[in-house]
Structure 1
Amino acid sequence: MSGILDSVNQRTQLVGQNRLELLLFRLNGRQRFGINVFKVREVLQCPPLTSMPKLNTLVRGVAHIRGQTISVIDLSMATGGRRIEDLSNAFIVIAEYNRSVQGFLVGAVERIINTNWDAIMPPPQGTGRASYLTAVTEVENELIEILDVEKILNEISPLNADVSADVAEGLTTEGKEDKIIFIADDSAVARNQVKKALTTLGLEIELAKNGLEALNRLKEIAEEYGDVTNRVGVLVSDIEMPEMDGYTLTAEIKNTPQLQKLHVVLHTSLSGVFNQAMVQKVGADDFIAKFHPDELATAVQKWLMKDCE
């Protein structure tokens, strides 16, 4: 176990084309879950938790770790399960999402596995925790569930997706009224947040649930319009998505003649461990860490108005 925990920080620096590493853990039962190691700062046995007044019921307390006060969310309770009772044998996965650091209380931590995004699939309909799943995969003939952490966090502390009045007033899409904004994100919550923020631009918006779906749809548009940029102004894409991640999607776009002029903005909760070299390698035009509606709308407007080269 100590070897696994010690290796997490080193592995968070790894990025590969359409591949990922998952840290496997359990909550209360036998079901195994996975979290992208790239989002994990460290894993440690649950320290003493301090109760605070008016905390959300899903937050078991706060932990003081390396000079930082971190809220600890019971992942079992957050997904509709029983609370994790035995804190002395529990673990905290400290992760960074959407420009903030959270602790996720889990029952047990197992190991790290290497896999590819094309082995990560959308959740099947009717799965018990389907409303909290963003993807599933199979390891050793067992289903691994990948939780929609953005939905969990939004339920605990909802994000404001509204663009401020001052920024909205300065946004213009004059001359681009015939363009659409394309959004690719596997989290329904994140898709809706991005859509709400970008609706301020007053253009048609099209959505895709993963990179492969987005790529196929962009190719269809390109076939119809001769070049995808004759219809699509900007693509805003998450990085972590089932079947095809945002890095691979971007690389495919930049290597396809009818798509390569499309401006791509990568928009991801991988904020603290973002790898600028990888974004440059695949040819993305911009990177924005989730989630700040003013920053996102301003960046999309900039690339929308920039002439395709």
Structure 2
Amino acid sequence: MQTIRSTSEERIMTNSAGKLAARNKIAGGNRMELLLFRLNGRQLYGINVFKVKEIIPCPRLTNLPHHTPEVRGVAHVRDGTISIVDLGMAIRQPAMEKPETHFVIVTEYNRRTQGFLVREVDRIVNIDWEEVHPPPKGSGRESFLTAVTQMDNQLIEIIDVEKIIASVDPFAQGVSSEVLTEDIKAIANEFHILLVDDSSVARHQVERNLSETGVRFTSLTNGREALEYLNNLADDGKDVADEFLMIISDIEMPEMDGYTLTNKIKQDPRLAQLPVLLHSSLSGIFNEAMVKKVGANFFLAKYDADELARVVVGQIRKAAGMKV
């Protein structure tokens, strides 16, 4: 692991999203940048830099009625109003006292902008996804970790932000009847999809909507696991493109990211015909360029149930020889 910058809170705060994006060349090489921060203790936590828009001193908060306790209020940031979530409370820690003395990490996940209140920011590090691992099995279903890694002999806990967002602002969206026509429902069960996502919340969300569509699915938790699974099928002489209608993969995953997984699939003649949809809370022009670079067939920013279903239905129609 290589630390690319050790910096003060003040210097990190001056990094705009544009400056952070200037380092996007590491993506696609199975590497990522983590923004490290602390909550109530000395434990270091991390989130992907590409989801960070800016870091600011905590602005003046306005209380909102009928919100979960984790939402400490709303604040005016730039030209909009965003919710400020106490990240410590969201992972079952005590509330942070005197929020005005702390910092807010402004992020964009799943097409929504929100702020996370943290005690202090630490620095940005550049790491290999191979050095990032799933959380210990003893973490339990209530854990808000999506992965862990080590730096300078210290454990870094990477937070499952999608799970936190779902806990403080539940998001429920089913597939509309306009997308799921009767002719598709009649044949959907003939088709099988491979789903790859390390976030249990995101994975279950997609699983629910695939179930609505009627297709069968197999779920795995990271790119390395998925590649080994596909390679084993190919080694057994099976045509992977016949086994699966398509693969739906997250981008950010421990051990092997979605970009690397897609690139390896498309470079292997036995797997190359398998359509790949990259489905990620990462969004923007950069990711669209990376999708083309690694050869993915589709890209969707999380999360719109109808958009995802339309891609799946389109693949069903294509495979069944129906009018698309």
Q: Is the 8 A contact 2:210 2:216 kept in 1?
A: no
**Which amino acid letter does the alignment assign opposite residue 244 of structure 1?**
M
Selected match of 2:307 from 295, 304, 307: 295
Aligned residues: 308
Whether the aligned pair in 2 keeps the contact of 1:12 and 1:40 (CA below 8 Å) is: no
Give the letter aligned to residue 12 of structure 1: A
2:286 & 2:115 partners in 1: Cα distance?
Answer: 19
> Aligned to 2:245, what secondary structure does the other structure show?
strand
1:116 Cα deviation (Å)?
1.0
1:220 equivalent among 206, 213, 232 = 232
Report if the CA contact (8 A) 2:20-2:49 is conserved: yes
2:249 paired residue among 237, 243, 268 = 237
Residue correspondence of structure 1 range 112-131 to structure 2 within 5 A: 112-127=124-139, 131=143
CA drift at 1:285: 0.4
**Normalised by the size of structure 2, how large is the TM-score?**
0.90
- 1:84 partnered with 2:96: yes
Distance 2:141 2:308 in 1: 31
Tell me, in whole angstroms, the C-alpha distance in 1 between the residues paired with 2:65 and 2:185. Answer: 46
CA shift, 1:272, in A, is 4.3
Q: Conserved in 1, the CA contact under 8 Å of 2:135 and 2:146?
A: yes
C-alpha separation between the residues in 1 aligned to 2:134 and 2:176? 34
Please state how far the C-alpha of 1:162 moved relative to its aligned partner.
1.7
Instruction: Report the alpha carbon displacement of residue 8 of structure 1 after superposing the two structures with TM.
Output: 4.8
1:99 matched residue in structure 2: 111
Corresponding residue SS for 1:166: coil
Greater mean deviation of Cα atoms: 179-188 or 154-163: 154-163
Quick one: distance in 1 between partners of 2:160 and 2:284?
19
Q: 1:40: which partner in 2?
A: 52
Q: Please name the residue that 1:5 is paired with.
A: 13
Q: Cα offset for 1:225?
A: 4.8
Displacement of 1:271 after TM fit? 2.4
Change in 2 beyond 3 A, CA 1:274/1:153: farther
Q: Is the 8 A contact 1:58 1:74 kept in 2?
A: yes
**Greater Cα shift, 12-21 or 186-195:** 12-21
Q: Secondary structure at the match of 2:236?
A: helix
CA contact under 8 A between 1:171 and 1:301: conserved in structure 2?
no
Aligned twin of 1:24: 36
1:260–1:174 distance in 2 versus 1, CA, 3 Å: farther
The alignment partner of 1:30 has SS state of coil
Contact kept in structure 2, 1:226 and 1:258, CA below 8 Å: no
Pairwise CA distance, 1:172 = 1.8
Alpha-carbon displacement from aligned partner over 1:120-175 (angstroms, at most 9, x marks no partner): 10001224996110000001100000111111111111121421222222672776
Query: Is the CA contact (8 Å cut-off) linking 1:99 and 1:269 kept in structure 2?
Result: yes
Verify the 8 A CA contact 1:263 1:285 in the aligned structure 2: yes
The one-letter amino acid of 2:313's match is: Q
Equivalent residue for 1:172? Answer: 184
2:80 maps to what in 1?
68
User: What residue identity is the alignment partner of 2:196?
Assistant: A
- Residue 273 and residue 3 in structure 1: after superposition, are their counterparts in 2 closer, same or farther (change >3 A)? farther
How high is the TM-score relative to the length of structure 1? 0.94
Q: What is the identity percentage for the equivalent residue pairs of Structure 1 and Structure 2?
A: 48
Work out the CA distance in 1 between the residues paired with 2:33 and 2:163.
21
Q: Which moved more, 1:133-142 or 1:86-95?
A: 86-95
RMSD over equivalenced CA pairs, Å = 2.0
Task: Give the secondary structure class of the aligned counterpart of 2:63.
Answer: coil
Q: 1:274 to 1:228 in 2, by over 3 A?
A: same
Where 2:53 maps in the other structure, the secondary structure is: strand
State how far apart, in whole Å, the 2-side matches of 1:35 and 1:121 are.
14
Residues 223 and 177 from structure 1, CA distance in 2 versus in 1: closer, same or farther, beyond 3 angstroms?
farther
Distance in 1 of aligned mates of 2:286 and 2:213:
27
1:199 deviates by 1.4
Task: Output the CA distance in 1 between the equivalents of 2:46 and 2:273.
Answer: 36
Equivalent in the alignment of 2:269: 257
- Partner Cα distance (2:187, 2:141) in 1: 45
- What is the distance in 2 between the residues matched to 1:287 and 1:157? 25
What SS class does the counterpart of residue 210 from structure 2 fall into?
helix
Moved more, 272-281 or 61-70: 272-281
**Unpaired runs of at least 5, structure 2:** 1-7
SS of equivalent to 2:84: strand
- Answer with 233-242 or 44-53: which moved more: 44-53
Partners of 2:140 and 2:163 lie apart in 1 by 16
Match of 2:287 in 1: 275
